[in-house]
Amino acid sequence: MERMLMKPKVAFFDFACCEGCQLQVANLGEALLDILGAIDVVEFREVMSEKWDKNYDVAIVEGSITDEHAEQRIRKIRDRSAVLIAYGSCATIGGVNGMKNSFVLDEIRQSVYGKDYQLFDSKKTRPIHQVVKVDYFINGCPVYHPEVIEVLKCALRGVPYAVPDNPVCSECKLNENVCMYDRGVACLGPWTKAGCNSWCINNGNICYGCRGMVTNPARNGANDIMARYDLNFDLIRNKFDMYNKCSEEDKNG
């Protein structure tokens, strides 16, 4: 009962990523102060020097797991956290870091670092849920502000958040965008989870699939699209690999 009255202790952690999703927090502007009024941020390395040695009510984890040290660290964070939120594409689906998994690990390490490549550790890229249990997922590269607020509200109240499982097209249609396929360009909207308000297509770009694939895509519809626009499967798969390469392990598991 006492704990309910206290502000929840919240910490941010980053693993392999660009830290852009953490930056999205700073980009909330003065609204951030409202959030800071409701929670007690005890660790946030990117903007704070303070460190915390007790348990966390909520751990918000950015980035994917790409080496042994990171694996040990995320296990410790999980042990100390009541609720763990995977935050952003790298954490939820492996993100662009997953492209590494398309290569033979030693070969790609050598291509970047030359003969000294073994001086540092590097493992196959994994999203957080492939290493430890995740309670909430905030998808996107970067995360979408309205969804961040929504998930935080759910996490702080202890109620589940259902990640939208309908395609980006459902939002794109409402935004009255001209379909990218009608402009002669392949877009991953038909297969990608909604929730970003078709952010990229609204700005004239395609959907790159950064929120992960819907669990039950409309197969016949997708086949129709492939046939109508004379697309080959490799082109689409190649586009998917930019963000979703790690999902192959989910299917195996």
Partner 1 sequence: MANKTVKIDVEYLTRVEGHGNIVIDVKEGKIDKCEFQVVESPRLFEGMLRGRSIFEAQHITSRICGICSCGHSLASIQAAEDALGVTPTEQTIKLRKLLLDYEFLDSHVLHVYLLAAPDVLGVPSFVPLVKTHNAVVRRALRMKKLCNDVCDILVGRHVHPISAIVGGFTKLPRPKDLDAMLEMLESMRDDMAETLALAKTLQFPDFYRETEYVGLVSDDEEYPLLMGDVGSTDGKRLGKKDYRQATNEFIDPRSSAKFAKWSRDSYLVGALARFNLNSDKLHPTAKAIAEELGLKPICHNPYLNTVAQVVEIVHCYEHAIDLIKDLKKNGINYDEEIVVGVNEQQKIPVRAGDGVGAVEVPRGILFHNYVTDSNGIIEQANCIIPTNQNIANIEYDMMKLLPEILDQTKEEITLKMEMLVRAYDPCISCSAHYLNVKFVE
Residues in contact with partner 1 by CB under 8 A are 14-24, 26-30, 32-33, 36, 41, 44-50, 63, 66-67, 69-70, 95-97, 99-100, 102-103, 108-109, 111-113, 116, 119-122, 141-142, 180, 183-186, 199-200, 202-206, 208, 242
Q: Which is nearer to partner 1, 77 or 135 (CB)?
A: 77
Residue 173 contacts by C-beta under 8 Å, 6 or more apart in sequence? none
Edge-first strand listing for the sheet containing 136-138 = 40-44, 9-14, 56-62, 81-87, 136-138
Q: Closest separation between CB of residue 121 and partner 1, Å?
A: 7
Helices 31-38 + 145-157 axis angle, to 10: 10
Q: Closest separation between CB of residue 209 and partner 1, Å?
A: 11
Q: Closest separation between CB of residue 55 and partner 1, Å?
A: 19
Q: Which is nearer to partner 1, 20 or 164 (CB)?
A: 20
Q: Closest separation between CB of residue 1 and partner 1, Å?
A: 27
User: DSSP readout, 139-174?
Assistant: -BTTB-HHHHHHHHHHHHHT-------SBHHHHHHH
Q: Which is nearer to partner 1, 78 or 124 (CB)?
A: 124
Q: Closest separation between CB of residue 99 and partner 1, Å?
A: 4
Q: Which is nearer to partner 1, 126 or 129 (CB)?
A: 126
CB 97 within 8 A of CB 24: no
Euclidean distance between the first and final Cα of the chain, in Å? 39
